[in-house]
Amino acid sequence: MKLVSNKNWFDKECCFEKHELREISNQKHRDPLNANLREQYHDTLKAYKKLLNKQNNKKKMAEVNKTISSVVHIGTAIIIEETINIVNKLSLK
């Protein structure tokens, strides 16, 4: 199965879930009075949306953690630099 989305959080699991949803949707359109297919479609759609939200949130959290990590790293570098400056000022006196 080919990944057609350019969203980097849309992985194979999302692709398989989408494929399953499309298959059930096609069956539902061929037999619109079948209550079992309609219920199965509704459950699959709900699971698909839940998976997309989970994957998207996971990607967003990874970006936030990366940003926080870089800020902490920069903050640590600034604190170390300030400490060195204070030590140098004290040693010069």
Domain count, the chain: 1
Segments of the chain assigned E as strands: none
Q: Residues in the chain with pLDDT < 50? A: none
| The predicted structure's pLDDT at residue 40 | 96
Domain presence at residue 1: no
- Distances 28 to 3, 8, 15, 49, 53 between C-alpha atoms, Å: 24, 30, 20, 18, 25
What's the pLDDT score for residue 43?
Answer: 96
pLDDT of residue 37: 95
pLDDT in tens, 67-89: 777 766 666 767 667 777 776 66
Asked if 18 and 55 touch (Cβ cutoff 8 Å), the reply is no
Token code pair at residue 80: 């170390």
pTM of the model: 0.65
Side chain identity, residue 91: S
Is 77 inside a domain boundary? yes
5 located within any domain = no
Which pLDDT value is given to residue 17? 94
Whole-number Å distance between alpha carbons of 25 and 32: 10
Which residue range is the domain that position 19 belongs to?
12-92
Domain membership flag for residue 6: no
